[in-house]
Amino acid sequence: MDERGIALRKAGEAKPFRLEAAPLKQPARELGIARACGAQPGVRLLDATAGWGADGLTLARLGCAATLVECSPRAFPLLEDLAQRSSLSARVHLGDARTHMADGFDVIYLDPMFEPHPKRALPGKALQVLRDIAGEAPATPIDLLALARRHARSRVVLKRRARSRPLVAPHWQIKGRTVRFDVYLPT
C-alpha cells in the first residue's frame, strides 16, 4: 500500500502489479457493453463476476446503479481500492454473487473467466494476475446463468469470446471484434 493505492508484488518481480483506472475510459469498450446491458441512469445492475471491475465500473460511469461482487479474497482488495479511487458510486462486495441475485437487479452481468485457449497468445498482464490469484469460482457459468435468469428483472448479459459457442442459445447478441455479449431474458 502506498500513495497510489494497493499493489501486488510477486516474488522475483521488481515491478508491482497495480490496477489503473485508464481502461475504464475506452469508448470502444463502452459501446457494446452499454447496448447489451441497456445502460442508462437508474438501471440497477449486478456485476456478479467482477474480477478487476473494468466492466462494472464502466457501467457505473454510464449511470447504472452498479453493485460489483468478487469471490476471491485476494482480488477483492484491489477491486475495492480501484472503485474508491475511481470516484464512482459503485458498491463492491466480497462473496458469492449467488447470494445477491435475489436483491432486485434489473440487469445481471456475467463475465466468467474465459477458458484457456492453447493456440493463442497469453492474455494481458491484468488477466494473467487475476487467473493466478483467483482460485476456483464457486459456481459454473451455466449455473450462474440459470440462476441469474430466474432473478433478473430485465435481462442477463453473458460476456464470451467472439468465436465461442453460446452456453445456451441467447435471445440476441451484441458482437465485437474479440468479445460478444449474449443477452438473455428472464425466465
DSSP state of 114: P
pLDDT at 89: 85
Alpha carbons 111 and 158: distance in angstroms, whole number: 6
pLDDT at 102: 92
Output the average pLDDT for the chain. Answer: 85
The answer to whether residue 168 sits within a structural domain is yes
Higher pLDDT: 30 or 169? It is 169
Closest CA relative to residue 39, chosen from 22, 57, 17: 57
Task: Please report which confidence band the pLDDT of residue 119 belongs to, taking 50, 70 and 90 as the band edges.
Answer: low
Instruction: Find the domain containing 61 and state its range.
Output: 37-184
pLDDT at 58: 92
pLDDT in tens, 37-63: 999 999 999 999 998 898 999 999 999
The answer to whether residue 8 sits within a structural domain is no
Total number of domains constituting the chain: 1
pLDDT in tens, 78-115: 899 889 888 888 999 999 999 999 999 999 999 987 66
The answer to whether residue 155 sits within a structural domain is yes
pLDDT at 122: 59
The answer to whether residue 107 sits within a structural domain is yes
The answer to whether residue 81 sits within a structural domain is yes
Alpha carbons 88 and 86: distance in angstroms, whole number: 5
CATH number at residue 132: 3.40.50.150
**What percent of the chain stands above pLDDT 70?**
82
pLDDT in tens, 128-148: 666 666 766 667 889 999 999
The answer to whether residue 129 sits within a structural domain is yes
The answer to whether residue 68 sits within a structural domain is yes
Task: Please report which confidence band the pLDDT of residue 116 belongs to, taking 50, 70 and 90 as the band edges.
Answer: low
The answer to whether residue 17 sits within a structural domain is no
Closest CA relative to residue 74, chosen from 6, 149, 144, 155: 6
pLDDT at 115: 67
